[in-house]
Structure 1
Amino acid sequence: MSLRIFLTFHQLNALTIIIVFAASGMVFGQNNKVLGLYMWLAAFIGLFFPIGYILEGIFEGNKERIKAAAPHVFLLSSQVLMEGVTFAGRFSLPILVFVPVFYNSKRIFTIFEWLRSEFGKVDEEFGYIGRGLAIANLVLWCFNLFGFLLPVYLPRAMKIYYGYKVKD
């Protein structure tokens, strides 16, 4: 059995940039402690734990685990990278809003596929870890999309962009 390299040099560089931007507060709101805590929670549930789950699958030779969780990790990493690019590039506010809404919407479908894969496994000894991780990600990203981005973030951003006063 040959062990393929999981991350290329360019992917590792992109991941490093993502983590540095997120940790330094250059991408997210620096003054909001609740938002900062939420972002760290989302980073652990959505990125760090799934990466660990994928790495464990690589070491065990479990390709099904890798195929199930990798699309979600890829989309989340891409989203953070694109948020940094759009923010640093001073794109318009609608584009800044479009990036997380689009990636969250797409990621929910990949998480459903991950769940389907995890619940389809019957012979795996510790299958509850993958199932729990997939369920935690589904809850987190559904809340993010339907509890924050669409009802709060999108309307406020559009009101600001189109010149309406926002009531708190």
Structure 2
Amino acid sequence: MSGVSLAVAPRSEPAGSDETTTTKLQGKPLQQEGVTGGVMGSLRVIELQLVAFIMVFSASGLIPLLDIVFPAFATAYLIALSRFAFPSRCRIATGTSSPEIFQGSRLFRFYVVVGTTLGLFLPLAYVLGGFARGDEHAVRSATPHLFLLSFQILTENIISGLSLFSPPVRALVPLLYTVRRIFVIIDWIQDVWLNKTLPANAVLQDIAWFWFGRGLAAANFVYFSINLFGFLIPRFLPRAFERYFSEKDEVHAKIEEDKYSVAMNKSKQSDKKAD
């Protein structure tokens, strides 16, 4: 997915591919699978589902104002970075979207699947189960995390297909959202570990549900902390900057080559006129 995709390489087309260019010109959707393509299925369907999630969460009154404002701030900041700090070089060099930032192995794909399950599917089941059980505390504690994760996935999916955004800007999407979600998950942990207690006469089903909520919050904190400090910062972000400056060098080399070609053509034309 993302965010869990978290940092997984955005979708892309190989640079300089004639087939890719032809497909774009014909207006046909390009069928390519990124690191998480097989996990998430049809991107269009998922984007519609995420929009639905976001609308429902926003209207539920369960999302703090700060978390509602954060996606707008993050989007404006990313657009500013793409315009003033890290403008895209890929459009100039190849005319296509940037290639994938990080190519994952099978083990990495399994890591992504685990993150998808812990970050999206199980919390969604927890929220829906909270609605079914009338457990408003569970719903309120996990919903902000789902809201921000849904926005993160939607943002990553949108900008990964736009050449407007350079690799550093694309890499900052999961980084910004993951940092914010870790603080949200800490609040979630506080809710289920400190502010929620079991009644003395709780049945086995209530006990299992109580510890499921606690375990899920703790597992999300561990996973996304490892993802942030063990992958996004030390590996994913440097790889994005490395690719960006490599593209920048290619652009400069192409400009110099074009200048040399123009100068040679002018020289040949002058020699012909002299003859």
Give the TM-score normalised by structure 2. Answer: 0.49
> Which residue of the other structure, out of 107, 112, 131, is the alignment partner of 1:39?
112
Residue of structure 1 in register with 2:13 after alignment: none
Task: Provide the aligned C-alpha RMSD in A.
Answer: 2.7
Distance of 1:136 and 1:82 partners within structure 2: 24
Residue pair 1:29, 1:35 contacting (<8 A) in 2 also: no
Which one-letter code corresponds to 1:103 in the other structure? Y
Q: In the aligned structure 1, how far is the partner of 2:235 from the partner of 2:104?
A: 18
Q: Which amino acid aligns with 1:43?
A: T
Deviates more, 1:49-58 or 1:116-125: 116-125
**Counterpart of 1:24?**
none
Counterpart amino acid of residue 62 in structure 1? D
CA distance in 1, matches of 2:174, 2:49: 18
Q: Give the fraction of aligned pairs with identical amino acids, expressed as a percent.
A: 37
- Report Cα offsets for 1:124-157 as digits up to 9, x if no partner: 6332111100000000000000010001111121
Offset of 1:16 from its aligned partner?
8.8
Summarize the alignment of residues 106-145 of structure 1 with structure 2, pairs less than 5 Å apart. Answer: 106-119=180-193, 120-123=195-198, 125-126=206-207, 127-145=210-228
Distance, in Å, in 2 between the alignment partners of 1:94 and 1:141 is: 20
Distance 2:131 2:226 in 1: 30
Contact 1:86 1:95 (C-alpha < 8 Å) held by counterparts: no
Distance in 2 between the 1:12 and 1:115 partners?
28
Q: Residues 130 and 31 (structure 1 numbering): CA distance in 2 closer, same or farther, change over 3 Å? A: closer
- Deviation of 1:34 (Å): 2.2
Question: Secondary structure, in 3 states, of the residue corresponding to 1:131?
Answer: helix
Separation (CA, whole Å) in 1 of partners of 2:197 and 2:106: 42
Q: Which amino acid aligns with 2:124?
A: I
What stretches of structure 2 of length at least 5 have no aligned partner?
Answer: 1-45, 53-99, 200-205, 248-275
Q: How many Å apart are 1:160 and its aligned residue?
A: 2.1
Deviation at 1:31, TM superposition (A): 6.1
- Using the alignment, how far apart are the partners of 1:111 and 1:28 within structure 2? 27
Residues of 2 paired with 1:33 and 1:105: CA distance? 26
Query: Of 172, 175, 178, which residue of structure 2 is paired with 1:101?
Result: 175
How far 1:100 sits from its partner (Å)?
0.4
Structure with the bigger RCO (C-alpha within 8 Å, sep 6+) is 2
Counterparts of 1:123 and 1:47, CA distance in 2: 26
Partner residue in 2 for 1:147: 230
Corresponding residue for residue 88 of structure 1: 161
Aligned match of 2:50 in 6, 10, 15? 15
Q: Which has the larger radius of gyration?
A: 2
SS at match of 1:121: coil
What runs of 5+ residues in structure 1 fail to find an aligned partner?
Answer: 1-10, 18-26
Separation of aligned partners in 1, 2:236 and 2:102: 13
Deviation at 1:60, TM superposition (A): 1.1
Post-superposition Cα deviations, 1:6-61, rounded to whole Å, max 9, x if no partner, equal: xxxxx9823399xxxxxxxxx99776322221111111111001110100100111
The answer to whether the 8 A contact 1:14-1:81 is kept is no
Q: CA-to-partner distance for each residue in 1:82-113, whole Å, 9 max, x for gaps?
A: 11111011221111111000010000011000
How many angstroms apart in 2 are the aligned matches of 1:46 and 1:56?
A: 16
The alignment covers a number of residue pairs equal to 146
